[in-house]
Amino acid sequence: LLARLRALARGPRLGLLLTLGLASALALLCAPFVTDDAFITLRYARHLAEGEGLRWNPGEGPVEGYSNLLQVLLAALALLLLTACAGGETSTNGSSATSSTGSADAVSGSTSSSSGAPSSTTSATATSTSSTGESTGETGEGAGGRCYPYMPECPRGEKCSAWASDGGKVPNANKCVPIDPDPKEAGEPCVAEEGVTGIDDCDAGLFCWHPYDDLAGYCVEFCTGSYRFPQCPDNKTCFIGAAGTWDLCRPLCDPLDPDACAPGESCILRYGDAFICMWTAFDGADGEPCDVSQQCSAGTFCADATTLANCPWDRCCTSYCDLDAPNTCPQKDLGAECVPYFDPPLPGKETLGFCGAPP
């Protein structure tokens, strides 16, 4: 027995056992306070480890890459402490996430470009409904078990969907909901239940993407792969929604093509040089005030007043334009010119401009 204990202490297995033991003890102590954030953190850690091919085989000992797996478990444990035990009740809004091509606010889904383009803002709130409804609560009537979109494990006849656990207008959590008896496929028209409950008539792996003030839309795919490496079909990219709970595949688009997006959508910069089709919440014309680009009409976006020729507010809608075409800016009589959107120009977008103040 002593020999076995000494062998165990010398090997890496002891670290894993201690880690798992501590995690189990903390789970018992913090169970009343575990939030969606902590739940997603642990599920993501498991998903990341399994995605890298890391396993623990009790009969053969740790597989190659064990140290990476232990790091993942330790990171998950630390994050669990922060999200579950730090202060009793915690927010389910999550923290901010960043990418090399832009920054994303995990609470609102808003982004700002860091590629030299004029500052424009997009918000995930434009895809939620205008009706607030009442939250049923995670354990209340109509609320299913929690789930993780990249690794859905819902009972038969249910799917992992995104919903607003706080009764708000933007999804901030995930749960299993019933699949409609006659589910719609990707691209087909759909209807969502009032109140951002996550219930719609789309099939598993799909979400009813609908405008801000309407419950009718069409089914779009949840991103697949993993949170770290999201995947989408060709000519689409993964739109990271609020708190990472509704990462959806959105089509790439050309802002100079008036027919690039479906009716009610606008081509908006999302990541670096990637433009995607997003619902528009309002129909702001060139020169009108805005906070986010979804408040502007198709063919325009929300830009800082400092880049525009005539904007008496902090931000205004302004039009895209072609640098090789004549000046067609709606406010050209007020000094607006077609100026480069990207500085320096990016490959494939050398002629993309916007109606702004002359240099």
Indicate the range of 106-120, 301-315, 322-336 predicted with least confidence: 106-120
Identify the pLDDT of residue 29. Answer: 54
Whether 284 has a pLDDT exceeding 70, the answer reads yes
pLDDT of residue 75: 53
pTM, full prediction: 0.62
Tell me the C-alpha distance between 64 and 320, whole Å: 52
Cis peptide before 344 (omega within 30 of 0): yes
Q: How confident is the model at residue 263 (pLDDT cuts 50, 70, 90)?
A: confident
Q: Which residues contact 204 (CB under 8 A, 6 or more apart)?
A: 152, 159, 160, 179, 183
* 307 Cβ contact partners less than 8 Å away, ≥ 6 residues apart: 118, 119, 354, 356, 357
The answer on pLDDT for 251 being more than 90 is yes
Q: What mean pLDDT is predicted for residues 23-45? A: 48
Q: CB neighbours of 102 closer than 8 A, spacing ≥ 6?
A: 111, 112, 113, 114, 115, 270, 271, 272
The pLDDT value given to residue 341? 95
Mean pLDDT (the chain, rounded)? 72
pLDDT confidence bin for 74, thresholds 50/70/90? low
Rounded mean pLDDT, 231-238: 93
* DSSP letter (8 states) at residue 160: E
Residue 52's pLDDT is what? 38
Summarize the confidence of residues 142-167 as an average pLDDT: 87
Query: Stretch 31-46: mean pLDDT, rounded?
Result: 45
| Closest to 221 measured CA to CA, from 179, 199, 195, 251 | 251
User: Does residue 149 register a pLDDT over 70?
Assistant: yes
Encode pLDDT of 156-208 as tens digits: 999 999 998 988 888 889 999 999 999 999 999 999 998 889 999 999 999 99
Helix (H) or strand (E) holding 79, with range, is helix 66-80
**Which of 236-240, 270-274, 301-305 shows the lowest per-residue confidence on average (mean pLDDT)?**
270-274
Asked whether the predicted pLDDT for residue 254 surpasses 80, the reply is yes
Mean pLDDT within 72-85: 51
Segment 213-236 shows an average pLDDT of 89
What confidence score (pLDDT) does residue 256 get?
Answer: 94
Contacts of residue 67, Cβ cutoff 8 Å, sequence gap at least 6: 12
How many Cα atoms within 13 Å fall on the side-chain side of residue 253? Answer: 23
Across residues 214-242, what is the average pLDDT? 89
Question: Which of the listed ranges 67-76, 275-284, 309-318 does the model predict with the highest average pLDDT?
Answer: 309-318
Is the predicted pLDDT of residue 32 greater than 90, yes or no?
A: no
Which has the higher per-residue pLDDT, 148 or 82? Answer: 148
Res 238: pLDDT? 93
In the predicted structure, residue 45 carries a pLDDT above the cut 60: no
Could you tell me which residue, 233 or 65, shows the higher pLDDT?
233
